[in-house]
Amino acid sequence: MHAELGPIDALVNNAGASCPVMNPLYLPEDQLMSVLEVNLIAVFRLARLVLPDMIERGGGTILTVSSLAAVTPNLLGGAAYGAAKAGVRNFMTFLHNTFRGDGVRAITVLPGETNTPILEKRPAPPAAETRAAMTQPEDIAEAIVMALSLPARACAQEIIVCPTRQRDPSADLAFARSIGAPNSQK
């Protein structure tokens, strides 16, 4: 990779995928694997690609956008999404603990509910007014820039970015519980 792209100082893993079935009781295997592939396995593979060169050069940064679903899993994000984001948080902590002595910073950004296209996959996508009060993509981008802007001697290992005013998701959670169940209606 180094020969093709030159030295990579920072890798930002910012992909995310969910699926419409939130409850593990009804989650099809193909949807589970798709969510794991994008949210966890790709992060692992990309880190393996850049780490050797970062270690050889004495430093670099791997930043991954996870989710608060990694910390507080529920039906809003779904079982597969929450598990994948928890796995990636664990992996980033592993990278931090293992490679910080080599000058490699591993940073995890944990956004709360954010107005992104992934919301369209929810059983009941939030209304425009609700989305306007959520954390916006540019808020997450600013947190990423802030983390990457720190001097190499400093590492913001985890950054939580969430809406100032948290909405009540109880109606969404109740609805999401049955999606994918036999005889359920969407």
Q: Verify whether residue 81 is a known catalytic residue.
A: yes
Selecting among 77, 80, 81, 109, the annotated active-site residue is: 81
**E-assigned strands of 23-144?**
60-65, 104-111
- Classified as helix, coil or strand, 24 is coil
d(CA 159, CA 113) in angstroms, rounded, equals 14
- Parallel, antiparallel, or unpaired for β 104-111 and 158-161? parallel
Residue 65 contacts residue 160 (beta carbons within 8 Å): no
Distance of CA 67 to the CA centre of its chain: 4
d(CA 38, CA 42) in angstroms, rounded, equals 6
Select from 57, 55, 89, 94 the least CA-distant residue to 73: 89
Which residue is listed with tokens 């930002």?
12
> Which active-site residues does the annotation give?
81
